[in-house]
């Protein structure tokens, strides 16, 4: 679960990580009020779940309350698409209004999970404000990492060693030392998968400040953070994905594909998506209905796929185990009846009660062809879409 900058900054503030003065606003008037209390230049930042906001026009420096109000008017209610948002337009429902800072240096600081080393890692770079992937590629020597033993936590000596490499003023160094410790504390206590401060600024008055903040919390640990559930902003999600989530379906909308996919099992779902290349086309979605899907869940899955305007053909690939194919067939037929459309389907059914399922589907009004396996399904898709 991703948090907005304003939510992340609240958490930083609670854990004694210094941030510039700022408040969140949902209207232009609110924004104006906050800008008045700032008394000087303020930065207006669109609150969306995408990085790269600055380049996309989602961050603007304003001279006073009037300009702040005007910027908020433009931003609120509009959408933002950034180079990191993968084509998605994120709605701007809130802006964060922050006191502008006089910056002398910028660093990068993050804590994340290193899946190769299987432990948390603190990442520090002297190249603040830059895209860290780019820094890693072009100047890897400018990135310093501290791997953390999760049973012990970050050893202070390792943080001291890191800071000694930077040759900072003692006063600044001490501040960053505490920031790193506090940041790890947040990472650990909130079960984060990422907490990133980019940039971590040092002002002309030698004060270290988190100018931006990104926090992602491990979805699998939300059960022990019920207080964080309220921070989930549904408006930032693809609405079909949101609907799928409420039916316990793992669904991801993909750009540019025509083939709607319905599969049980994540691995099989990926293999099914991949086979659409052999059919000369591309998948419109990833969808894993799960190992023991009910009739209702399959019905919901069908409706989600069928309501996707990109979908020209549906590929169903079910391997009956605990999931019974006849139950799935009933779900598909119900979904078809309710959504009232006639998208052609290619169906591969194997395992538990697959013959019963075929009979049920044949009797229905669905435009269906059956295939023995995925390669023959690919051929069938090719024929039906008229791809030569």
Partner 1 sequence: MSLLNKNSNKVLIQGLGRDGSFQAERCIEFGTNIVSGVHPTKAGEKFKQDIPIFGSVNEAVSETSPDIGLIFVPAPFAADAIIEQIDANISVIVCVTEGIPIADMVKVNEYLKGKMTRLIGPNCPGYLIPEKKLKVGIIPGSIVKPGNVGVVSRSGTLTYEAIVQLTKLGIGQSACVGIGGDPINGTSFVDVIDMFEEDDNTEAIVMIGEIGGTKEQEAAERIKNSVSKPVVASIVGQTAPEGRRMGHAGAVITGKSALASEKINSLKDAGVVIADSPTEIGQKVKELLKIK
DSSP 8-state symbol, 2: B
Whether residue 169 has a cis bond before it, omega within 30° of 0: no
Looking at beta carbons only, is 185 or 191 nearer to partner 1?
A: 191
Task: Note whether 232 binds partner 1 by CB under 8 A.
Answer: no
Look at residue 119 and give its three-state secondary structure.
strand
Can you tell me the distance from the alpha carbon of 212 to that of 48, in angstroms, rounded to the nearest whole number?
A: 13
Binding flag, residue 115, partner 1 (CB under 8 A): yes
Q: How far is the CB of 206 from partner 1 (least distance, A)?
A: 35
Closest among 78, 179, 189, 84 to 134, alpha carbons compared: 84
Which one of residues 144, 166, 231, 250 is an interface residue with partner 1 (CB under 8 A)? 250
Among 102, 229, 274, 338, binds partner 1 (CB under 8 A): 274
Which candidate in 32, 98, 99, 196 is catalytic? Answer: 196
308: left (phi over 0), alpha (psi -120 to 50) or beta: beta
- The sign of the CA dihedral 215, 152, 108, 63 is positive
Whichever of 142 and 207 has its CB closer to partner 1, that residue is 142
Report the C-alpha gap between 148 and 195 in whole angstroms: 15
Alpha carbon distance 304, 300 (integer Å): 6
Q: Which of 108, 184, 251, 302 is catalytic?
A: 108
162 or 269: CB nearest partner 1: 269
> Between 297 and 326, how does the x/- string for binding to partner 1 read (CB under 8 A)?
----------------------x-x-----
Active site residue 108: yes
- CB under 8 A: which stretch of 102-110, 153-161, 166-174, 219-227 binds partner 1? 219-227
- Tell me the C-alpha distance between 57 and 55, whole Å: 6
Cβ density class 219-240: b for 16+ within 10 Å, e for less: eeeeeeeeebeebebeebbeeb
**Bridging pattern class, strands 103-114 and 192-203:** antiparallel
Residue window 7-26: x/- pattern of binding to partner 1, with contact defined by CB under 8 A: --------------------
Work out how close the CB of 266 gets to partner 1 at its nearest, in angstroms, rounded to a whole number. Answer: 3
Point out which span in 100-108, 198-206, 277-285, 358-366 binds partner 1 (CB under 8 A): 277-285
What positions carry a catalytic annotation? 108, 196
Residues that bind partner 1 in the complex, under the rule CB under 8 A: 86, 113, 115-116, 118-120, 133, 149-151, 188, 191, 193, 218, 220-221, 223-224, 250, 252, 254-255, 257, 264-271, 273-278, 282-283, 286, 288, 291, 319, 321, 350, 373-375
């Amino acid at each position: 679960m991703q948090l907005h900058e304003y939510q992340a900054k609240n958490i930083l503030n609670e854990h004694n990580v210094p941030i510039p003065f700022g408040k969140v606003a949902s209207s232009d008037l609110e924004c104006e009020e906050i800008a008045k209390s700032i008394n000087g230049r303020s930065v207006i930042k669109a609150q969306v779940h995408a990085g790269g906001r600055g380049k996309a026009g989602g961050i603007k420096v304003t001279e006073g309350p009037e300009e702040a109000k005007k910027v908020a008017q433009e931003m609120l209610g509009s959408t933002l698409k950034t180079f990191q948002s993968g084509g998605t337009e994120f709605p701007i429902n809130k802006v964060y209004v922050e006191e502008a800072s006089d910056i002398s240096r910028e660093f990068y600081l993050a804590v994340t999970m290193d899946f190769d080393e299987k432990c948390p890692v603190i990442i520090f770079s002297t190249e603040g404000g830059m895209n860290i992937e780019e820094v890693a590629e072009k100047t890897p020597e400018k990135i310093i990492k501290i791997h953390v033993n999760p049973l012990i936590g970050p050893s202070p000596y390792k943080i001291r060693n890191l800071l000694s490499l930077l040759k900072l003023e003692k006063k600044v160094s001490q501040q960053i030392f505490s920031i790193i410790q506090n940041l790890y504390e947040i990472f650990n206590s909130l079960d984060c998968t990422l907490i990133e401060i980019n940039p971590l600024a040092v002002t002309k008055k030698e004060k270290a400040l988190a100018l931006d903040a990104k926090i992602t919390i491990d979805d699998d640990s939300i059960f022990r953070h019920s207080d964080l559930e309220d921070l989930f902003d549904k408006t930032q999600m693809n609405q079909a994905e949101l609907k799928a989530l409420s039916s316990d379906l793992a669904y991801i909308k993909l750009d540019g594909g025509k083939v709607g996919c319905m599969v049980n099992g994540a691995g099989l779902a990926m293999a099914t998506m991949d086979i659409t290349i052999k059919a000369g086309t591309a998948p419109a979605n990833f969808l894993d209905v799960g190992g023991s899907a009910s009739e209702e869940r399959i019905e919901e899955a069908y409706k989600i796929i069928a309501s996707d305007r990109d979908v020209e053909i549906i590929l169903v690939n079910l391997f009956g185990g605990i999931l019974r194919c006849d139950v799935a067939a009933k779900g598909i037929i119900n979904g078809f009846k309710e959504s009232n459309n006639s998208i052609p389907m290619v169906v591969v059914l194997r395992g538990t009660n697959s013959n019963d399922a075929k009979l049920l589907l044949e009797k229905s009004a669905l435009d269906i062809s059956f295939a023995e396996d995925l390669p023959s399904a690919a051929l069938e898709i090719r024929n039906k879409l008229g791809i030569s």
